[in-house]
Amino acid sequence: MAEPLACVISTFNMIEVEEGCDALVVGGGLLGLLTVGILKLRGAKNIILSEPNEKRLAMGEQFGANYLNDPTKDDLTELVNDVTGGYGVKIGAEAVGVPQLVANVSKLIRPRGNLVLVGVSPQGSALPVDLYDLHYKEITMSGAYGAGDAFGEALETLPKLDFTGVVSGRFSLDQTAEALEVSASGGGVKYMISPHD
């Protein structure tokens, strides 16, 4: 868990999380949940998690999400407007790696807010956002690659987060193919391969 957490911490070491700010995280996989957790630890007040997988969405609460959104059932824009009084979130994080979701998140950020790319979009993906909006809303965009020098901070932070139920299954080394198949189905959050089991 330390490596993905270090990546998220490294990302938020590059931007300021204002005490009491509103934030949106799209994607409730491990990186999305860790993003929610770090935003909460750094002082974000109203955190919205948007995720269509029911199990992952429910897990958002234990990491600190105040509002849960299933985008297949409820309108995310409406929820963001309700939570922020129509102003938009200070921090909008895309944690899936789907360019269209990056575009969607960018529209929900307030002036002088931050668009944070936590998910990894496919190589060669074009920037899908309205550059006019970025310019006139003075939005700062940043990416999240690598853990930088955040491993020490990640190890100190791990005990502050509730990882109950995050490991959805454990597999022995000779079950690696099965583990990859189960993981690809998108049903759980994190699967572990334990070489000595």
Looking at domain 2-143, its CATH class is: alpha beta
Residue that is written with structure tokens 């006139």 in the block: 136
Per the CB < 8 A criterion, the answer to whether 113 and 61 are in contact is no
- pTM recorded for the entire structure: 0.93
**From CA 182, how far away is CA 50, in angstroms rounded?**
23
Per-residue pLDDT of the chain (197 residues; tens, 9 = 90+): 899 999 999 999 999 999 999 999 999 999 999 999 999 999 999 999 999 999 999 999 999 999 999 999 999 999 999 999 999 999 999 999 999 999 999 999 999 999 999 999 999 999 899 899 899 999 999 987 777 789 999 999 999 999 999 998 899 998 999 888 888 887 788 888 888 76
Q: What is the DSSP string of 136-149?
A: HTT-EEEE--S-TT
Alpha-carbon span 169 to 184, nearest angstrom? 13
Give residue 100's pLDDT: 95
For the chain, domain boundaries? 2-143, 165-197
Distance of alpha carbon 29 from alpha carbon 95, whole angstroms = 8
Q: Alpha-carbon distance 49 to 26, whole Å?
A: 6
- CA gap 109, 26 in Å, rounded: 13
**Rounded CA separation 77/61 (Å):** 20
Q: What is the pLDDT of residue 197?
A: 61
For residue 59, report the phi and psi dihedrals to the nearest 5 degrees.
-65, -20
Task: Give the pair of three-digit tokens for residue 186.
Answer: 């998108």
